[in-house]
Amino acid sequence: MLNMLDYKVKIGLCPMRRDTTNRPAKTFLTWVSAEERGHRFVKYIEENFADENVEFVDANGLGCNDLIFDEASAEACAERFKAEKVDAVIIINCNFGNEEAAADLAKAVGKPVAIWAPLDDEYYVDGMRPTDSQCGSFGVSRQMQRYHIPFSHIPCCRVESPEFKEGFDRFARVACMVKNFTGMRIGQVGIRPKPFYSVIWNEGELMEKFGIRIIPINFAVIQNTFNDVFANEKEEMAKVEKIFTENYQMDDLTPQYLERMSALVLTYKRLFKEFNLDVISGECWTGFPQMFDGLCPCSVYGVLNDMGYIISCESDMHCVMTMALMSCASLGKKKTFLGEFTVRHPENRNAELLWHCGPFPLSVKAPDSTARLVNQREWFRAKDGTYTVARIDQESGNYMILPLVCHTVPGPQTHGTYIWGEFEDLQAVEDRLLDGPYIHHFCEIEGDYTKEVKEFCKYFPNLSVDTSLEN
C-alpha cells in the first residue's frame, strides 16, 4: 500500500563458476556443467518462486555465458543489481565458485546476500567430478567473513527440494524485514501516558543505529485533521461506520461514538499518507478521551490494523518497531497485534493471558468467538494456533529482540482481546522479562518466525537476538 510497508522484494540471481581454463565436458570443474546448471537453476527459480511478493533480476548477458567468474564480471553484475535496486542477492555456486568475485559483488551491492551450493550429483567412472559446489561455498563464506559481510545460506540441496523452498522463502522474508526496517518512518501521535515510564525510548539512538525517522504529530494536527474529516467526508465515514455495525455486536454505550470513531479511522489514514509513514506509535487512553469528549481509539486501532495500517497502543515505540518487523517476516500475509503478559493461567503453570483492552485486528478473531464492542473497545478471543511473541527493547544503548513461541490453550473467558498462550517454560520467561530490559508489551503474530528473526539480526550489528531462554 502507498506510503506504508513494502512487502515486495526484488532479488538478484547471480550464478557463479570458478575462473579456470575451459575444460571438456565430464572433466574436473568443467565450464560445461557449470553453465548448464546455472541456466537451469535460474530458470527454475524464476518460474517457480516469482509471485506477488518476489521478483528477480538475472545476470543474463554478463560474464561468460551468463555466469559471473572474475572481478570484472562481478563489477558488471553489481552495477546491474544496483541500477535495478535489488533488495537482496542469491549467489549460486554452479561449480567450485569464485570467492573473490562473490565477496566483491556482495560488498558492492550492500544488501542481504545468500550463498547456495546446489547438490553435487555428477560422478564419472574415471573419478572426475565436474562441480564441487559445496566445497567452494566454504571458501566463499570465508571471504565474506574477511570482508565483514553478513550473509545467509540456503542448505546444499537440489533446487526442486523442500529444503531449497524453505531456505529461499526464509531468505525472501528476511530481505523484506531488512528492506523495511532500515530507514523506517514512524509517526509519533501524542506522548506516552504519564505513569508509563516503561515505554520510554531514545529518538537519537534509533536514528543513529537504524536510520529510523520519528515524525512527531501533535494533537493540534490530530484535532484539525479530525475536524476536517468530520465536516467533509460524511460519505466515507458512513462506509467505515458499516465496518463497525456489520461486524460487531454493540453495547448501549458505543453507538453514540460511531460517527467519531469512523472519522478517527479516516484521520489516521490521512496521517499515514500526508506524513509518508510506515507505522504509527499511538497515544490512546489519556489524551483522546479528554480531547474528543470520551472517544476511545482502541477499536479504531483494530480496524486500522486490519486494513494494514500498523499502530501500537500506549505510545510504545519499541513495540511498533517489532510489529513492523514481524509483519514483514510474514510478507504482510499475517496481521500483528500488541498483547501484554497479563496474568497466569489458573491451572496451567506454563500458560499466560496475552491480552489488551481491544485493539486486535478483527481478522485474527477465533471463529467461535463473538466480536463485541463494549464502550468502544473490542471484545473477542483470537484464533487458535502457534504464535511468535516478540519484542525489541534496549538498555544503555544495547538493543536486543526476544523472540518466543507459544501455542494457544483453552482458558477463562475475559474482556478485551486476548489469547491464552502456553510456553515451554513460563517461569523462565517471567524471570527473563523481570531481568529486563523487557516490559509487559509484546507483539504477537500467527506462525513461528524465530528463525527469520535470528537471520535478520545478522544484518544489524546494533541489534542482537536474545537467546538466553534457548536450551
Domain final position from 119, 151, 181 = 181
CATH of residue 29: 3.40.50.1070
CB atoms under 10 Å from CB of 396, counted, come to 5
Three-class SS state of 124: coil
Q: How many other CB atoms are found less than 10 A from the CB of residue 5?
A: 21
Alpha helices for 20-132 (secondary structure H):
31-49, 71-83, 99-109
The whole-number pLDDT of residue 1 equals: 42
CA-based max dimension of the chain: 86
Q: Are residues 194 and 65 in the same domain?
A: no
Q: What is the CA radius of gyration of the chain?
A: 25
- Mapping DSSP to helix (H, G, I), strand (E, B) and coil, where does residue 66 land? coil
Residue-wise pLDDT for 337-379, tens only, equals 999 999 999 999 999 999 999 899 999 999 999 999 999 999 9
The residue among 181, 216, 233 that closes a domain is 181
- Residue bearing cell 518466525: 449
In a domain, 227, yes or no: yes
Examine residue 246 and state whether it is found in any structural domain, yes or no.
yes
Domain residue limits at 137: 9-181
- For residues 322 and 181, the answer to whether their CB atoms sit within 8 Å is no
Q: In this structure, is residue 1 part of a structural domain?
A: no
What pLDDT is recorded for position 373? Answer: 96
CATH of the domain at 240: 3.40.275.10
Helix and strand numbers (H, E) in the chain are 14, 19
Do the Cβ atoms of 130 and 33 come closer than 8 Å? yes
> How many distinct structural domains can be found in the chain?
2
Interval 399-439: pLDDT, tens: 999 999 999 999 999 999 999 999 999 999 999 999 999 99
* Domain identity same for 175 and 242: no
Helix, strand, coil in percent for the chain, rounding step 5:
40, 25, 35
Summarize pLDDT for 240-288 with one digit per residue, the tens: 999 999 999 999 999 999 999 999 999 999 999 999 999 999 888 787 8
Helical ranges in 308-408 per DSSP H: 317-329
Residues of the chain with pLDDT under 50: 1-3
Could you tell me if 190 and 285 lie in one domain?
A: yes
**φ and ψ at 342, to 5 degrees?**
-115, -65
